Amino acid sequence: MGSREVEALKDIDLNIPSGKMVIVKGPSGSGKTTILNIMGGLDQPTSGEVILGGQKLNSLSEKEITDLRRNKIGFIFQSFGLIQSFTAFENVELPLRIQHKSYKLRNRRVEECLEIVGLAERKDHRIFELSGGEQQRGGIARALAVNPSIILADEPTGEVDYLTGQKIMELFQEMIDQQGLTICVATHDPSAMEYGDIVYEIRDGKIRKKG
């Protein structure tokens, strides 16, 4: 910030075990999003290592990191991050188009993902025609489309009401139980934390405790 150096994260030591739901909780500005960005290769740490599935992210080229994000990591954003003029189907299909998957494979996988999140009947609706909860489900389906090994969810319940938020967290749990996914959720929503197998608390860029 100008001439002032800001340490977003300090002395972070995190282990995200496979097939678990890990919650990183903390207030706004505590470093939650930065942790997710570093896990997903969107940001690079100034020191230290990030290892995903045995690969050291800081030793990969930009192209290799991009390929890793496209094929191994699913991102879910608080503001949904969907293209408003696209239908739910088209939004979920987009990462598969980027991967140059065949028409037949794309159609089958999109239908599967929309069915998992309970949005199959709304697949032809454009995003602006969907409720907030439906839009978040569309974002989850898009994250699932590439068969990722880990999903990084930034405040997934932040833009929806309490009951919808509970349904989203229950859906995450079902995805872990049925598909063996690993999900890391950054949140300050107290109701979301009860779903975590492991809960880390972060304040001022430092991990304070683990439950």
The tens digit of pLDDT for each residue in 51-84 reads 988 889 888 999 999 999 888 999 998 888 899 9
By residue count, the chain amounts to: 211
The answer to the question of residue 150 being in a domain is yes
- Mean pLDDT, all residues of the chain: 91
Asked if the structure places residue 6 within a domain, the reply is no
Q: Note whether residue 182 is domain-resident.
A: yes
In the chain, how many domains are there? 1
The CATH number of residue 185's host domain is 3.40.50.300
Asked, for residue 9, whether it belongs to a domain, the answer is: no
Give the alpha-carbon dihedral of 52, 54, 57, 62, to 10 degrees: -100
Cα–Cα dist 38/114, whole Å: 28
pLDDT tens for each residue of 103-155 = 999 999 999 999 999 999 999 999 999 998 999 999 999 999 999 999 999 99
Residue 145, domain extent: 21-210
The answer to whether residue 104 is domain-embedded is yes
- Please state whether the predicted TM-score (pTM) of the whole model is above 0.85: yes
